[in-house]
Amino acid sequence: MFPNFYFLFKDLFGIEACALVYINTFGFFVAISFLLANLTMTWELQRKEKDGLIKGMPGKQWVGVMPNMSDYAWNAAMGFILGWKFLYLIVNACDFFSDPQSKILSSEGSLTMGLIAAAIAVGMKYYQGWKTKNKHTEAKLEAVTIHPYQRMGNFTIIAAVAGLLGAKIFDHMEHWDEFIKNPLGAFLNPFSGLTFYGGLIVGGGAVLWYARKVNIHWRHMLDVGGPAMMLAYGVGRIGCHMAGDGDWGIVNTRPNPGWLPDWLWAYTYPNNVAHVCDPIGGVPCEPGVIPQLSVPVWPTPIYEAMMGIGLFFILWSLRKRIKVPGVLFCIYLIFAGFERFWIEKIRVNAVYHIGGMNITQAEIISVVLMIVGAIGWWWFKKHPEVKLLSSASGSDIGSTPAETAQSEEK
């Protein structure tokens, strides 16, 4: 397995690039999943606007003005941090190879690199403003149309922050005994211990709230998000598998049927980032031991990756054929619930004992998702009409509080 990209490149190409130790494999695929979700949602928002299903909002944008001091100060601060910390870590990566995480959070850095990077950032901001100003004869606040797809940066940030918070909360609810032992450490590790359904519920709710604020009907936003979330889930599971983060299946000592490679049938996750050697109970390895499971397990993350990506293509192919807003998302809920419910049968997870049954949190939520999807499908079919929301309200783009106040005084 590859806890970070150093091990991946070394295994694939025989290259030992110490700087790659800072790129966490799981975190990398989570970032890629967000980028792909952003891209697919952007395409769908553009298509829906082109088809007249949603529309942009009037807004205002400053043109012909140079950046103000707060812009320069912000760029200088970001440039300084980049140079002082991250460039310093990259240049000295081999010295920090054994414990990169502690160095990232330490106060070590390079003042010289920080000042150089700050100067470059300020210069780039000035040049950008100079080019914009030269295109216009005077500074003015122009009326513009803010298209829904131009909001995707905000949608992504809201989904990422709220989704990560929800994923952490649901995971701590599922593993409460472990959480109370070290609550601070659990929250300070952002990519360890994440429950997808927590991210889906909290992140999805936050996105729908913002969609309403910018006049995108919630049913259209659901349809835009369904395929994107399925794709993000599948790509994220690739990161789980490659890093060996503990989201594997139960022990599998059955003989390989012969038509699958061994790593796809039963796997021991060597060098897993979870540092687990005994899959029964998730017992950690002894200090100094290279982690590898003592017995093979079902590689469920790669199964979910294949199913998630495959189901995304099905949803993507259906998006133009389904005319009733909201139905596509209901199909997503049914797909997501069905896939996760059955993978739980061979997956390691905390089990609840309810009414004589042994059931996991994911199984409960999966059943709820399928029921909600089926009811929602029926309800949306009975109420197919969706009103186009008004675009009366607007907002400013690229304006600062001082500039806006100046415009209002004029």
pLDDT at site 349: 74
* Number of domains, the chain: 2
- Is 202 domain-assigned? yes
Tokens of 360: 């996991």
Whole-angstrom distance between the N-terminal and C-terminal Cα of the chain? 63
- Find the angle CA(118)-CA(403)-CA(62) to the nearest 5 degrees: 85
Asked if residue 135 and residue 168 are part of one domain, the reply reads no
26 closest CA partner among 236, 298, 181, 257: 236
Asked if residue 128 and residue 69 are part of one domain, the reply reads yes
Asked if residue 328 and residue 350 are part of one domain, the reply reads yes
- Is 273 domain-assigned? no
- Is 166 domain-assigned? yes
Asked if residue 213 and residue 93 are part of one domain, the reply reads no
159, pLDDT greater than 70: yes
Asked if residue 171 and residue 92 are part of one domain, the reply reads no
DSSP 194: -
Domain finish residue from 143, 173, 196? 143
402, pLDDT greater than 50: no
Q: Are strands 276-278 and 395-397 parallel, antiparallel or unpaired?
A: unpaired
pLDDT at site 383: 92
Q: Are strands 57-63 and 395-397 parallel, antiparallel or unpaired?
A: parallel
Asked if residue 118 and residue 75 are part of one domain, the reply reads yes
pLDDT at site 407: 41
pLDDT at site 292: 93
- Is 120 domain-assigned? yes
DSSP string over 5-49 = HHHHHHHHH----GGGGGSBHHHHHHHHHHHHHHHHHHHHHHHHH
Whole-model pTM over 0.95: no
Alpha helices per DSSP H over 281-353: 300-318, 327-343
Asked if residue 164 and residue 130 are part of one domain, the reply reads no
Tokens of 383: 């109420």
- Is 399 domain-assigned? no
242 closest CA partner among 33, 95, 98: 33
Asked if residue 373 and residue 316 are part of one domain, the reply reads yes
Mean pLDDT along residues 182-204: 63
pLDDT at site 409: 40
- Is 280 domain-assigned? no
- Is 129 domain-assigned? yes
Least confident of 13-27, 49-63, 186-200, 205-219: 186-200
Asked if residue 244 and residue 375 are part of one domain, the reply reads yes
Confidence class for position 195, pLDDT limits 50, 70, 90? low
Domain finish residue from 97, 118, 143? 143
Asked if residue 232 and residue 338 are part of one domain, the reply reads yes
Question: Are 335 and 307 a contacting pair, CB within 8 Å?
Answer: no
Asked if residue 245 and residue 185 are part of one domain, the reply reads yes
Domain finish residue from 90, 110, 143? 143
- Is 402 domain-assigned? no
pLDDT at site 100: 66
* Domain, as residue range, for 15: 5-56+152-251+303-384
Asked if residue 324 and residue 218 are part of one domain, the reply reads yes
Least confident of 130-139, 229-238, 322-331: 130-139
Question: Are 175 and 281 a contacting pair, CB within 8 Å?
Answer: no
Tokens of 406: 């100046």
